[in-house]
Amino acid sequence: MNTHHIIITGASRGIGQAIALLYASMGWNISICCRHKSPDMEHTKAQITAAGGQYFAFYGDMGNPEDAEAFVTKSVQTFGIPEIFVNNAGISHIGLLQDMTPQQWDDLLHTNLSSVFYTSRIIIPYFLQEKHGRIINISSVWGNVGASTEAAYSASKGGVNALTKALAKELAPSGIPVNAVACGMIDTSMNAFLDPDELSALTEEIPAGRAGTPEEAAALVRQVAEAPEYMTGQIITLDGGWI
């Protein structure tokens, strides 16, 4: 039985799903979660099995501390302490800040930023016990530079970047790297709100001339996970030269 284990939050589709399938193809045990049961999650589970991996699936909100603790604890009970923990769960919000409700703000910040705190505080003691482990946070270029009509999303990803750098300093003496991958435009359902003209105009701004793929993001996550331990506290951008 393969003892390699990776935990990925928010992995029912998009980048999280691509990471899960990449590691499943390597024979790893995969722990994944999403807020609710959905056809996307069922599809991901079937694909993991088809790719040769085993999975533990959890349904819960990583923006809720009790759900986050339950997910991490049950994942460790199922497959043991992971080698890699990927904080990928996230939602977006498009609109003027003045039109955003406090509830929408709180939901986005809890899902995108607080979730990283909730999961990290549970997994870190396991990593310290093993003197091994890596945390990789999925961020965004908007966390680096900000985006009009995405103020809350930008704020949440800017928080993820700052948390990544600070936590890396805390854990570096223990040999536990913490890094983030800041994605530009990736071809996922999060961009489904764009009509063809908007999509075309956006890709024209990207020097690479196209959106990135979830598989490219997953490949970079693997590279970060396999990088020397000395590489920590980095926000690595994947955006086709856009920002």
Q: What residues are labeled active site?
A: 153
Q: Nearest CA to 2 among 74, 83, 72?
A: 83
Distance from C-alpha of 132 to C-alpha of 82, rounded to nearest angstrom: 9
Amino acid in position 209: G
| Residue 173 DSSP class | G
Percentage helix, strand, coil, to 5, in the chain?
A: 50, 15, 35
Tokens linked to 131 = 């003197």
Whether 188 and 14 have beta carbons less than 8 Å apart is answered as yes
